[in-house]
């Protein structure tokens, strides 16, 4: 999630019904299933949360954070608890929620993590515990942006965090076994990027429009999904989901034509159409034996508002496909 999303949220205010609804406005959705209920986390004040029995009808729940994490103001002075692009995973009896704290138009950013033993707000043990910063980016020090996290495990069970937006592209770093910090010695990789013009100041996001990495293991391949181009412009959004694959979690990831994703490669998975602009910032999961692509797109029939989209994924010759006509 980049700074343009912040502009969009300030410019477009919308009301979500406190009851259940099928047509919900979200940015950057991720989902986990606990028992017979699905929980969706997305960008919003304190991390917005919805729940559903069927991935269709959604009920708005209380946000994860009622007030901003205590450390956030040290990273971003004046931070107002508008948290971007969460990621949710279950590991060893706990849910791990990674989330992004960032300043407008800068890579003054950090990824934090909170844990909970349940996602059900009605459970007596429901309580989010924040563990602070996992990764932080600083202008004029780092040519990357610590936002849009995604936790993934390799075949040996080792945890990795991928993240990034604009600047120097998508990064991958090995995490410690408790998933709360970067492992030592540090292992860092660049797994996808687009050309960044050399005249761009280090403090500026530039024109290398790529963000929102998400890694999904399928059969013998790790698939890296990213979003190209621009979100958060309503009907003028140009977001699109691209993918590459690798036999190793650290890459190299290449597209269907064999072009490395570190050289701008990517095979299209979903793009917008006349009704839906800027389809992107996806996650992908297997629920009950089916794979689903979960993302947002801007509804041109409703003032360009960002809406939740869930589409079943099929696989052809080892590559993900969705039925664009059903968007």
Q: Active-site positions?
A: 28, 211
Structure tokens of 296? 């947002």
Cβ contact 266:243 at 8 Å? yes
User: How far is residue 204's CA from residue 110's CA, in Å, rounded to a whole number?
Assistant: 17
Q: Quick one: three-class SS letters along the chain?
A: CCHHHHHHHHHCCCCCCCCEECCCECCCCEEEEECCEEEEEECEECCEEEEECCCCCEEEECCCCCCCCCCHHHHCCCCCCEEEEEEEEEECCEEEEEEEEECCCCCCEEEEEEEECCCCCCCCCCCCEEEEEEEEECCCCCCCCCCCCEEEECCCCCEEEEECECCCCEEEEEECCCCCCECCCCCEEEEECCCCCCCCCCCCCCCCCEEEEEEEEECCEEEEEEEECCCCCHHHCCCEEEEEEECCCCCCCECCCCCEHHHCCCEEEECCCCCEEEEEEEEEEEECCEEEEEEEEEECCCCCEEEEEEEEEEEECCEEECCHHHC
Structure tokens of 91? 């590991």
User: How far is residue 72's CA from residue 79's CA, in Å, rounded to a whole number?
Assistant: 7
Q: Across the strands, what pairs with 277?
A: 298
Cβ contact 96:83 at 8 Å? no
Q: What angle do CA 132, 138, 140 make, to 5 degrees?
A: 170
């Amino acid at each position: 999630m980049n700074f343009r999303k912040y502009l969009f949220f300030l410019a477009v205010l919308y009301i979500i019904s406190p009851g259940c609804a099928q047509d919900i406005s979200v940015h950057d959705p991720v989902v986990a299933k606990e028992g017979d209920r699905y929980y969706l986390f997305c960008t919003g004040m304190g991390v917005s949360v919805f729940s559903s029995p069927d991935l269709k009808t959604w009920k708005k729940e209380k946000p994860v954070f009622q007030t901003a994490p205590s450390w956030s103001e040290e990273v971003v002075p004046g931070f107002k608890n508008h948290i971007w692009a969460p990621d949710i995973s279950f590991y060893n009896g706990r849910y791990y929620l990674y989330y992004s704290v960032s300043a407008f138009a800068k890579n003054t950013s950090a990824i934090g993590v909170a844990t909970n033993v349940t996602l059900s707000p009605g459970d007596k043990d429901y309580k989010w515990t924040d563990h602070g910063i996992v990764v932080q980016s600083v202008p004029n020090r780092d040519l990357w942006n610590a936002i849009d996290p995604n936790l993934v495990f390799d075949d040996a069970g080792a945890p990795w965090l991928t993240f990034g937006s604009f600047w120097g592209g998508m990064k991958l770093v090995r995490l410690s076994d408790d998933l709360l910090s970067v492992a030592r010695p540090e292992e860092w990789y660049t797994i996808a990027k687009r050309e960044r013009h050399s005249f761009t100041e280090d403090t500026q996001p530039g024109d290398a429009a790529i963000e929102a990495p998400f890694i999904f293991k399928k059969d013998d391949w790790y698939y890296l999904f990213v979003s190209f181009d621009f979100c958060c412009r309503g009907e003028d959004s140009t977001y699109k989901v691209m993918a590459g694959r690798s036999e190793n979690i650290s890459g190299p990831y290449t597209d269907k034509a064999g072009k490395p994703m570190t050289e701008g490669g990517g095979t299209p998975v979903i793009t917008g159409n006349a009704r839906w602009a800027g389809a992107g910032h996806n996650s992908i999961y297997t629920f009950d034996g089916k794979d689903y692509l979960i993302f947002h797109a801007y509804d041109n029939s409703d003032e360009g508002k960002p809406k939740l989209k869930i589409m079943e994924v099929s696989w052809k010759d080892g590559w993900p496909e969705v039925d664009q006509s059903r968007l």
